[in-house]
Amino acid sequence: MTNAIETRGLRYRPGKGFELSDLNLHVPAGSVYGFLGPNGSGKTTTIRLALGLLRPGAGHITVLGESMPENAPRVLARIGYVPEQPHLDPTLTVRELLRFQAAFYSTWDWPRAEQLLRQFQLDEDRLFGRLSKGQKAKLMILLALAQRGELLVLDEPTDGLDPVVRRDILAALLEYVSQGGATVFISSHLVHELERICDWVAVLDDGRLVTESPMERLKNGIKRLRVARPPADPRAAPFALLAREPANGEFETWVVRDWEPTMASYFDAAGATLEDVVDLDLEDAFVELLRTFRAPRS
C-alpha cells in the first residue's frame, strides 16, 4: 500500500453554491499529511467523503487499500477519527466513554488510554457534557489514539483551543507518530501548527486542489526575489512565476515557485540581475499560493 488515502477525479456537489472538482489526493502511508485551506474550502466535505459518510458524484476513493464507501465498515475499524464538532453522549462520564469506545475496537490499548487520561488530567467521573472545550478535545484525541488505528483522521482538532491545550494535543500526536506505522491526516487553517508536525501538505481552496507537495519542497521552493532590470516576458523562466510587483525604479519583486539555486543563471542570460532571494515560511507561501490561484477569476 503506497497511499493510505487516494482520490482520483473526485467530485461532489451538495448544492448550487459549492463543488469539489476533480480532486486528486495522494496521502503517503506513514506520513503526517496536512490538509490546509480557508474555512469553507471543502476540507470537512473531503474528509466525510473519504470516510464513507458522503457519497461522491463521480471519481474513486481508496482508503487503506480498499475502495470507499463500499468497504466502509471494514475500513473504519482501522481508523481513529476526530470530527470537527464533539459528537459524544453528554450524559456519559469520561470513564464510561472509554469503555463504550473500547467495545468497538479489537486493537484498543488500555494502558495507552490510562496514560493519556493522566497526561491530559481528565476527571474520569465527570460527565462529557460538563467538560470544557479543551477537555472535550483532549478526550476525543485520547479515544482516537487508544484505538491504535493504522490511520488517524483529524478535522480541525485544535481550532479555538488555548495554546496550552493545543500544545498538549500536538505533543500526544507527535509521540504517537514517533512510535511508527500510523498515517496522520490532519486538516486545519492554522498554518503555523501544521508547519511544525507535517511532512506532506496539500492546499485546498473553493473545492479545488491548489497544490500537493512534501513540506520541505514547498517551503524551500517558494521564494521572494528582488530583480533589477527584469525581463518583460518571463515565459522562458525555469520556475513558476506566482506574482510580480514593481518596487523602486528599475526593480521588481517576484514570488516564484519550484525555485532551485541554479536557476539564478536565468537572470544573467535574460540581461537582468538577481539582487536578493528571500525565504518564505509556510504561512507566507500559503498566502501567495491562494492569492495567485484566485487571481485569474478575480
**C-beta of residue 6 within 8 angstroms of C-beta of residue 61:** yes
SS3 35: strand
CA 212 vs CA 36, 134, 147, 216: distances in Å = 10, 31, 29, 12
Pull the grid cell for residue 31: 506520513
* pLDDT given for residue 296 in this prediction: 55
Cα(26)–Cα(4) distance, rounded to whole angstroms? 8
Chain-centre distance of CA 80, in angstroms?
16
**Is the whole-model pTM more than 0.85?**
yes
DSSP 209-245: EEEEEEHHHHHHH-EEEEEES--S--TT-SSEEEEEE
Helices 163-178 & 133-146 angle (0-180, nearest 10): 10
- Cα distance between residue 229 and residue 249, in whole Å: 9
Q: Cα separation of 20 and 13, whole Å? A: 6
Residue bearing cell 504517537: 176
* Residue 283 pLDDT: 86
Question: Phi first, then psi: what are they for 45, rounded to 5°?
Answer: -60, -40
pLDDT value at residue 297: 47
In this prediction, residue 140 carries a pLDDT of 94
**Residue 139 zone, left/alpha/beta (φ > 0; ψ -120 to 50; rest):** alpha
Superfamily (CATH) of domain 3-214 = P-loop containing nucleotide triphosphate hydrolases (3.40.50.300)
Rounded to whole angstroms, how far apart are CA atoms 243 and 13? 31
Domain ranges across the chain: 3-214, 223-279
C-alpha distances (whole Å) from 52 to each of 63, 152, 206, 213, 284 are 10, 15, 21, 25, 34
Mean pLDDT in consecutive groups of 10 residues from the start of the chain, 298 residues: 92 88 95 93 96 95 96 94 92 97 94 95 96 94 94 91 88 84 89 87 94 90 93 91 83 92 94 93 87 69
Query: What pLDDT is recorded for position 100?
Result: 96
Helix %, strand %, coil % for the chain, to 5? 35, 30, 35
Task: State the Cα torsion 229-232-237-240 to the nearest 10°.
Answer: 100
